[in-house]
Structure 1
Amino acid sequence: MTTVEQETGSGIRPFHVEISAEALDDLRRRLAATRWPRRELVDDRSQGVQLATIQEVARYWMGDYDMRRVEARLNALAQFTTEIDGVDVHFLHVRSPHEAALPLVMTHGWPGSVIELLDAVGPLTDPTAHGGTAEDAFHLVLPSIPGYGWSGAPTQLGWDPGRVGRAWDTLMHRLGYDRYVAQGGDLGAYVVDAMGRQAPEGLLGIHANLLVAMPADGSARRSETEEEKTALAAIAERTATGFGYFVEQATRPQTIGYPQVDSPVALASWLLDHDTDSYHKISRAFLDGEPSGNLTREHVLDNITLYWLTATGTSAARAYWETGQAQARAGGHAPPPVTVPAAFTTFPGEAFAAPRSWLEQAYPTLTYYNRVDRGGHFAAWEEPELFATEVRAAFRSLR
């Protein structure tokens, strides 16, 4: 480490996950001591996570799940930490065996983590082993957003998506990548959208699988085609019946954080209650043993267990508050335009299927758009091979 690195904390330090037996014993004890409410009074999820589902999650978690899976899966890959803007950032850095690979930084969302991206690592870094060609390879960087996973939780205000995007640019240059691309879904889509507007030197293009930038002219509210009408109806339905988590985290993250760091069942139920499509898929995986793609019981519990062991329920929720505060500060003023090439993939199970017309207005630099036939909100997690195929196609023209 150089003197400058020592003085600025900019050194890159190897990281290894170590989970104590005491932490796992405490988790089992808390699961066993859960006080259960009475069953919901409806036969669907309209009152929230159903009792039968969450009880089976808890039973499987306590009895059948290998609680050291998270430790083993992460420690199988190269992990590091580095201080950026006063916060320790944890990241995975997996270089491709193909030296000419394109550097790619991918950002997870909520209620996900780097766990949701792990099974896309192989297809993206070593495409020749997964039906692709060496020309499609990526050197992959998977950071945890500050407040998530083993990244440090911010102790100052202001860690909105734009600040995260600037941190990722610092990280990529610190790793020696002077040209790179960026991808994100959910909260990660906010980050890559911000990066596309910042257009830092070396960022070649962005890809997202959730539209977070509606057309500035308000045309999304004047739907004309059937595709646009369907998307608008889906947004209205979600806002009316499934947006409670968003409002709570955007306005009262501290309040919802207390149960998440004290009760594993409260944490699990909060993380499961995100969107109808993924909830039903996860519920079927636990109740019927029928996972959708890669959304297996083990993989879902890997993610929940990471949140529990890192006690990040509160700090992760706070990212929504920061995003809302940044939007409030903008005061309704349009952000600067995206000036780098933008690409987008619509997965059918997403909260709404973004029409191409909306994408073209939100991103005049759109160079790639595709609608695929399977996958949902957790695209990389549920369908890692298909997701990797889309990322390859999205950035192929930028190599």
Structure 2
Amino acid sequence: MTNTANIRPFRIEIPQAEVDDLKARLAGARWPATPSVDDWSRGVPVGYLKELAAYWADGYDWRAAEAALNEIPQFITELNGQRIHFFHQRSAEPDAVPLILTHGWPGSPVEFQQMIGRLTDPVAYGGDAADAFHVVVPSLPGYGFSTPLGPGGFNLFGVAQMWAELMSRLGYERYAAHGTDAGSGVAGMLPMVDPARVVGVHLAGVTAGTPFGDPLPLEGLSASDRARAERFNQMMDEGFGYLVLQSTRPQTLAYSLNDSPIGQLAWIVEKFAEWTDPIHKLPEEAVDRDQLLTNVSLYWFTGSGASSAHAVYDGMQAWKAYAAQQADGDSEGWGDVAGPPTGVAVFGAETAIKSLADPAGKMSHWKEYDRGGHFAAMEVPDLLAGDLRTFFQPLR
């Protein structure tokens, strides 16, 4: 039975004064000197960011983006002292299966905007009505309108407990879960906190190893897995600076992200340049430019660049404590806990390696695609929607 007493409808309504302030800050930006080599080797190029910022100020239409987001039913609730915002689009199909989608960093529910129709109304996209889902898309604590970050901080296990309670409040007795990036950690823990109701877990955005571990060995890997391992090792050498900073000094970074839209834009767009399908030279060739800027705008208007940095800090502290317990043999490993089927989709630029992620062969579904990347829901929504349908078909 649905418990709606603690759930309130929500609409995004950013005051015009805040929209005007954003435009003024973009127009008055204090730009750094252009380095001798203005390419992506040292970060986001000045020339590129000036053009993108100019479009954000004068070409991009926040009000149109806001109206499009408000076409999706949205709600606010409180879970364990944390304000949680979520999209909730029910399918018209009577046998639809509830599905909770969890984003990561630097994403938001905007990341799944193109997925909602494909999942709730598959017939409209050439699919089968039998594959329909009721879709729930929460904002992680500290992200978007799930702000401010509550007294409990952020850890994957705690968020999984919140999501289990959220699905209970919505009246869903059994449900499916998908997550990407940090959201894959949340989705992966849902069977531990809600084993009787989770029918299956589908993951994307899974990396080949931990960012603070040793480089991955290359011996014995297939050619494709070796390429993924080499890409991950390169990321360890030069691509995890953002994570080190957010997981050690989030407050120092928070001032820049909260005060400068140029800083917030660069902080996010760099990851869309590095983590999307490498066949594309620029982020807006991999994802829709307006959708990318809607995601950045959401960070800016909610001040969640700063709070999500603290969420990363909290999450990494919890992960390190868990890893220490594992090393001491004080807790069960994920692979030791019986649970529902798990599936993984690996898109072109990702680094997940089956022999490392699933050495015992327990996963019931592992599919690799030669297109897309870390932001699959934005880059290749049809591929991701198709993989979700395939994985969950026998679990309905």
Match of 2:249 among 244, 249, 252: 252
- 1:15 maps to a residue whose letter is F
Match of residue 224 from structure 1 = 220
Amino acid in structure 2 at the alignment position of 1:340: P
Q: What SS does the aligned partner of 1:109 have?
A: coil
Letter in 1 for 2:221: T
Residue by residue over 1:196-239, the C-alpha shift from the partner in whole angstroms, topping out at 9 and shown as x without a partner, is 44453201111111225859xx9964641223322221111011
On the 8 A contact 2:82/2:151 being kept in 1, the answer is: no
Deviation at 1:277, TM superposition (A): 4.2
Does 2:307 align with 1:315?
Answer: yes
- Structure 1 runs (4+) deviating above 6 angstroms are 279-283
Q: How far is the alpha carbon of 1:395 from its aligned partner?
A: 1.2
TM-score, with normalisation over the residues of structure 2?
A: 0.90
Q: Give 1:324 shift.
A: 1.2
Pairing 1:5-84 to 2, within 5 Å after superposition = 11-84=6-79
Residue equivalent to 1:358: 356
What secondary structure sits across from 1:68 in the alignment? helix
Structure 2 partner of 1:349 = 349
- Deviation sequence 1:220-278 (CA, Å, 0-9, x none): 64641223322221111011111111111111111111111111000000011226243
State the TM-score, normalizing by the size of structure 1. Answer: 0.90
Tell me if 1:305 matches 2:297: yes
**8 Å contact from structure 1 (residues 127, 137) kept in 2:** yes
CA RMSD of aligned residues (A): 2.3
Shift in alpha-carbon separation, 1:283–1:348, aligned structure 2, 3 A: closer
* Corresponding residue SS for 1:34: coil
Q: Structure 1 residue 115: deviation in Å? A: 0.6
Native 8 Å contact 2:178 2:184 kept in 1: yes
Is the CA contact 1:169–1:200 (under 8 Å) kept in the aligned structure 2?
no
Contact 1:53–1:283 (Cα < 8 Å) also in 2: no
Matched, 1:161 2:153: no
Q: 1:92 to 1:45 in 2, by over 3 A?
A: same
The answer to whether the aligner puts 1:265 opposite 2:262 as a matched pair is: yes
**Using a 3 Å threshold, how does the CA distance of structure 1 residues 18 and 283 change in structure 2: closer, same or farther?**
farther
Q: Is the 8 A contact 1:70 1:306 kept in 2?
A: no
CA distance in 1, matches of 2:308, 2:160: 16
In the other structure, the counterpart of 1:382 is 379
Provide Cα deviations, 1:349-395, integer angstroms capped at 9, x if missing partner.
Answer: 22x1x222223227x54111111121111000111111100111121
2: CA distance between counterparts of 1:32 and 1:280?
31
Which structure 2 residue ranges, 5 or more long, are not aligned?
Answer: 327-332
Q: Indicate conservation of the 8 Å contact 2:276/2:283, yes or no.
A: no
Q: 83, 95, 105: which one pairs with 2:90?
A: 95
The corresponding residue for 1:141 is 136
Provide the rounded CA distance (Å) in 2 between the counterparts of 1:277 and 1:177.
Answer: 34
Distance 1:271-1:142 versus aligned 2 partners, 3 A rule: same
- How far has the Cα of 1:281 moved from its partner? 7.7
State the one-letter code of the partner of 2:324. G
Structure 2 CA distance for aligned equivalents of residues 281 and 68 of structure 1: 32
Query: How high is the sequence identity, in percent, across the aligned residues?
Result: 38
Instruction: Find the residue that maps to 2:150 and give its secondary structure.
Output: coil
Structure 1 position 12, deviation (Å): 0.9
What SS class does the counterpart of residue 115 from structure 1 fall into? helix
Between 264-273 and 220-229, report the one with greater CA deviation: 220-229
Deviates more, 1:28-37 or 1:190-199: 190-199
Comparing 55-64 and 270-279, the one that deviates more: 270-279
Any stretches of 5+ residues in structure 1 without a counterpart? none
How many pairs were matched up? 382
**Counterpart code for 1:314:** A
The superposition leaves residues 98-130 of structure 1 with CA deviations (integer Å, 9 ceiling, x where unpaired) of 010010000011111111101011111101111
Indicate how the Cα distance of structure 1 residues 225 and 282 shifts in structure 2: closer, same or farther if over 3 A, else same.
Answer: closer
What is the distance in 1 between the residues matched to 2:42 and 2:368?
32
CA contact (8 A) 1:349 1:377 kept: yes
Q: How many angstroms does 1:156 deviate by?
A: 1.8
Distance 1:268 1:282 in 2: 19
Instruction: Report the 3-state secondary structure (helix = DSSP H, G, I; strand = E; otherwise coil) of the residue aligned with 2:159.
Output: helix
Shift of 1:192: 1.1
- CA gap of 1:258–1:219, structure 2 versus 1, over 3 A, is closer
